[in-house]
Amino acid sequence: MKLSKKRIFDIIQIGSRGDFPSRAFDLVIVIMIFLNIGVLFLETFDSLAAYHTAFRVIESVTVLFFIIEYILRIWTAEFLFPGCSRLKAIGKFLISYDGIVDLGTILPFFALEGFVAFRLLRVVRIFHLFRVNAYYDSFNVIVTVLKEKLNQIISSLFIIIVLMLAGSLCIYSLEHDAQPEVFENALSGLWWTVSTIFTVGYGDVYPITPLGRLMAILITFLGVGAVAIPTGIISAGFVEQYTKLQKHRPGSRNVATVIVDENSPYLGHTIGEVEKDFNLEIHTLMRDGVLILPTDAVRLKAQDTVVYENR
């Protein structure tokens, strides 16, 4: 039986519970990812040098599978971005997160094996494990929280960086004369400052003068408070997200519920597009009986249950 391009697109996308071929493809993806990452680790053991040829074969097979998947995703990109022309849809996929990670997974196998840091791009593919359960799990909530709280997190990290630089300069001024070989310049104390702020305390570099030790106490107390700032921001973001998911339920007089069918104008569009074009605010999305986080990038499918409110 010859498969249509649309059917191939459905198979290589996240599988719904009733689509066995698509779910089977997701399972194969998981196996290939684990094999590829496992071989990447096993190749580093000198005691397994005798098996390196077998590892190379396994890696070749998995990379070949990734190449086929990559080509199929390019070929069916027009269904991923239905509002775009074929060339524009392909371009959007190529510069998307998935497109870049897919390419970065393949390239090191052919031309850049000597660059260990670049080969680590293959490890990024481990995040594709979440595509099997995409939008359903806590990982997506984490990503959403980080995006929404990005400005606050950057501000808190800026405070930590300033504290690190100030601590490094101060400890150099106090300890240079007593330990010139340890604190050679203003940046020499940066390692000590980082380990102190994050309360790691490796003990390889430490102050020996009374004033230096007093500075260490001060930096430790300030570090505990500074590191707690981004933690509090992220925790508050989690509370907001889960409150948002539970806030609006069918039956409220301010919200309405609709099931997306083949004739629905919402079908195939992302939540962000639907909210903008139809002046709605989507609060909850149910798919296959599972609650999905309604982020702007989620594309609506047939039989999705949408809980929305008119703006």
Helix (H), strand (E), coil (C) string for the chain: CCCCHHHHHHHHCCCCCCCHHHHHHHHHHHHHHHHHHHHHHHCCCHHHHHHHHHHHHHHHHHHHHHHHHHHHHHHCHHHHCCCCCHHHHHHHHHCCHHHHHHHHHHHHHHCCCCCHHHHCHHHHHHHHHHHHHCCCCHHHHHHHHHHHCHHHHHHHHHHHHHHHHHHHHHHHHHHCCCCCCCCCCCCCCHHHHHHHHCCCCCCCCCCCCHHHHHHHHHHHHHHHHHHHHHHHHHHHHHHHHHHHHHHCCCCCCCCEEEECCCCCCCCCCEHHHHHHHCCEEEEEEEECCEEECCCCCCECCCCCEEEEEEC
pLDDT the model gives residue 211: 92
pLDDT the model gives residue 246: 61
Cα 42 from Cα 108, distance rounded (Å): 17
Q: What is the pTM for the complete model shown? A: 0.58
Q: Is 237 within a domain?
A: yes
pLDDT the model gives residue 61: 92
With a pLDDT cut of 70, the percent of the chain lying above it is 81
Residue that has been written with the tokens 């997200």 in this structure:
241
Q: Is 101 within a domain?
A: yes
List pLDDT tens digits, range 87-99: 998 998 899 877 8
Q: Same domain for 293 and 197?
A: no
Q: Same domain for 259 and 276?
A: yes
Q: Same domain for 92 and 11?
A: yes
Q: Which of 245, 274, 301 is the last residue of a domain?
A: 245
Q: Is 144 within a domain?
A: no
pLDDT the model gives residue 117: 56
pLDDT the model gives residue 12: 83
Q: Is 67 within a domain?
A: yes
Q: Is 290 within a domain?
A: yes
pLDDT the model gives residue 57: 92
Highest mean pLDDT, choosing among 116-125, 133-142, 167-176: 167-176
List pLDDT tens digits, range 42-90: 887 888 889 989 988 998 898 899 899 999 999 998 888 877 888 998 9
Q: Which of 245, 269, 300 is the last residue of a domain?
A: 245
CB of 215 within 8 A of CB of 170? Answer: yes
291 or 207: whose pLDDT is higher? 207
pLDDT the model gives residue 214: 93
User: What does the mean pLDDT of the chain come to?
Assistant: 80
pLDDT the model gives residue 39: 85
Record the tokens describing residue 64, joined without a space. 């070949």
As a residue count, the chain comes to 311
Q: How many CB atoms lie within 10 A of CB 293?
A: 21
Across residues 238-251, what is the average pLDDT? 63
Structural domains counted in the chain: 3
Cα atoms found within 13 Å of the Cα of residue 208, Cβ hemisphere only: 9
188 or 175: whose pLDDT is higher? 175
Q: Is 140 within a domain?
A: no
Q: How many CB atoms lie within 10 A of CB 188?
A: 19
List pLDDT tens digits, range 248-305: 544 444 677 888 887 888 888 888 888 888 888 887 787 776 667 777 778 888 888 8
Q: Same domain for 15 and 94?
A: yes
Task: Please say if the pLDDT value at position 101 is more than 90.
Answer: no
pLDDT the model gives residue 100: 82
Residue that has been written with the tokens 């500075």 in this structure:
215
Domain span at residue 222 reads: 150-245
257 or 244: whose pLDDT is higher? 257
239 or 232: whose pLDDT is higher? 232
Burial status of residue 138 (CB atoms within 10 A of its CB: 0-12, 13-18, 19 or more): exposed
72 dihedral zone (left: phi>0; alpha: psi -120 to 50; beta): alpha
